[in-house]
Structure 1
Amino acid sequence: MTLTADPAILVLEDGTRHRGRAYGARGTTLGEVVFATGMTGYQETLTDPSYAGQIVLQTAPHIGNTGMNDEDPESRRIWVAGYIVRDPSRVVSNWRADTSLDAALVADGIVGISGVDTRAVTRHIRSAGSMRGGIFSGADAALDPQEQLRQVREAPQMAGLNLSAQVSVADAVMVPARGERVGSVALIDLGIKQASIENLASRGFDVHVLPHDATYEQLAALGVDAVFYSNGPGDPAAADDQVALLRRVLDDRIPFFGICFGNQLLGRALGFGTYKLPFGHRGINQPVLDKATGRVEITAHNHGFAVDAPREGITDSPNGYGRVEVSHIGLNDNVVEGLRALDIPAFSVQYHPEAAGGPHDANHLFDRFADMVRTHREDAH
C-alpha cells in the first residue's frame, strides 16, 4: 500500500485544527469525535454499530498492520462516521487478511485522516470533553476554514439523537440454538454485534433478532422465554418507544438482560435518569468492580451516556418494580456499570461482555442469563 500525499484536516467545534493526510475515502464527514483505547481489535471497533455518528480516534499509534478479514466483522459494514489514526501500516502482515484497512474504509465510504498527533487530540478531548468535529480530505481540505468550522458547528449534537433506526435490522432473523436448548429470546437490535448473537445461541437460545421498533404484540406472538436489549448508538433519553416496550416486559416478569444501551434503557424503565459523560468510555481495558464478588474485571466499553442511580445500598424502583441495586462500578470514574433488580428477573451491564474485541472476563454473564431463564421457568411451574 502506498500512503497518500493528499491533504486532510481535522476540525473541532472549538476551532482547533489538526493537519494530516487523507486516509480511506476522500471528502467530508461530520460527527462526534471520541477516542478508543484498544491496542487491538480495530476491525471489531469499526464494525460495531454503536459507533454510528462518531468519528473514532485510535489512541494506539500504529493501526492497520493485520488488515481486514471476512471472519471478524461484527455487523454488515463499517459504521464509524470517520476515522483518525497516527501511523497507518504501510503493509498488511497477517495470513487471515483479505484486504487492507485503507481499502475497506474506501469500500464503505469512510473518510479518515492519518498523520495526526492523536495523543494531543486525546488529551484535548479529555480536558474539554467530546465535541463535534469534521474531517475534510482531498479537495475538501482546501475549503475556507470558516466554512469548515460552520459545517462542524451545524452538525447535530449526539445528545438527543435516536440512531437505532439507522443500524437495526429491517426484518426479523432467527438464529437457532446450539447444544442443549434453554429456550427462545427476543433480541431487540439497537446496534447488535454478531458476537452477542453467537454467545446467546451457544448457550442454548433460539435467538429472534427483531428490529428496533418491534412491538410487544410481536414478542407475545413469538412466545419467547426472555428478552435481550443490545448495545447501540445515540442518546437513551431519545428512546422512549424502547423504554415503553421494556416496561411491558418487566410488568409481565419476562426475564431480561441488557448490555450497554440496553443497560441505560433498563435504568430508564426502572425510573432512573441518564446523563452524558464528558468523554465517555471506549476501548477494551476498562476496570469494573463486580460488587457481589469483589472481583475486578477488565472489560470492553463503548458508551457516552450513563445511568444516574444510587451507587450504594438498595433502592426502590421509582417506577414500582421493587428493589434495585447497582451491581457494577467503573473504577476509573465511579460510573454505574450494571443494574440488578431484586424482585423481578432483570439485570444489565454497561459494558460489552461478548468481548469483540476485548477481554473475556465478563463472558460468564451470558451463563448467568441462561441460569436466570431456567430458574424463572422452574419457579413458574
Structure 2
Amino acid sequence: MQRPNYPSGKDLLSADAVSRFDLDDILERAERHLQEEEREKAGLPPLQPPAHRRRPKVIAALFDQRSTRTRLGFQAAAARLGHQSIDAYDTDRGRMGTSTGETLEDHIRTVELYSDLLVVRSHLEDMPYRVARLSHLPVINAGNGADEHPSQALIDLFAIRHMRGAIETLSIALSSDTRARFAVSFVKMLRLTPPRRFTLCCLPDVPINPAMREAMTVLAGLGTEIGLVHDVRRTLDHDVLSIQMQDMSKFAHAALGSDAVDKEKETEPFTITARKILDARSDTLILNPLPRFSELDPSCDSLPNAGYFRQVALSVPMRMAILERMLSGVPWTGQAAARSAPPP
C-alpha cells in the first residue's frame, strides 16, 4: 500500500502547486539571497547573521535524465545554504527498476533514510508523482518528460522581475514548442502575475498543446491581451522574449546512453540573431532556459538585450529560496490537482 502524500502541499510537482501567496514569498526569499550574495561580493557585512544549524540538510538528486544547469544549480544552492547534496541515482550504473535491481518503492524508502529532500528529474512523466506518493519527504519535480518544470518557471519569473520590473506591466512573448515542459510551467505560472500582453510564437501548422492553450485561456480571462504569431520578428516589440526550439521532442525524450542527439537547424522565422534585433531597434530582453540550439545565435551574446546567462546566475538564489522554504516545512498552497499524477 502506498503511503499518502503527507503533509499536504509538501511537494513542488507542477506550476499548479504555487499560489500567489507562495510566489510572493518565494520571490522575496530569492531577492534576499541575491542581496546577501551581492553584499558578500562587495565585502559588506550580511543583512542578518547566518542561522545556526546543528547539522546540514541532505538533498538527494534522483536524475535519470541528463542535466547540467538543473543539477549543478541545485547542488550550488544547497552548498550556499550550508547543506549537502548526494546523487541518489547514477545514470551509468543505476539499478533501480532493472531486472537485477531493486524496486522503485525500496529505492525511495532507502534514499529517504539518508536525506531531507528529494529532487527528481526523469524522462518518465509520472516519476516525480510516484516518488512524492512514496516518500514523506518534500519532492521537487526538476523536469519530467514533456510534462512540467515548475522550478524553471519560478526562475524565469524571478529573472524577468529582476531585469525588467513588475510582470503585470510588461508584454511577454514566448517562442517555443508548445509541448516543452519549461514553456508549459512558465505560461501556467503567469496566471499568478498576469502580464499586460502575452504573445505565443509557434509553428503555423502544428496544433497547440492543450495544456498551453488552457493556460493562455486562463490568462485571457485575467485580462491579458493574447496574441499568436509565426515569426519571431513580430515579438521584438515586447519587453521580454523567451525563446527555444520549435520541436523539442528529441530532447524531451533523449536516450540516457552516450549517443549524441542530432541537432536540427531551426527554421529561419524562429531564429533570433543580432541583426534582427538591431534592424528592429529592439530592446527586448532575450531569455533562454538553455541549452540553446540554432534558435539563439551567438551573435546576440554581446548585446545588452542578452539576459540568458544572467538568467542562469539568478537561478541559484531562486533555488536557494525553494530549498529553504521546503526544508522549513512551508507548504505550497496552490491547486490540489498538483498533488495527483497527470492522466496517462
Q: Is TM more than 0.5 here?
A: no
Structure with bigger helix share is 2
TM value normalised by structure 2 = 0.31
Query: Considering only CA atoms, is the larger Rg found in Structure 1 or Structure 2?
Result: 1
Compare the two structures and name the one with the higher strand fraction.
Answer: 1
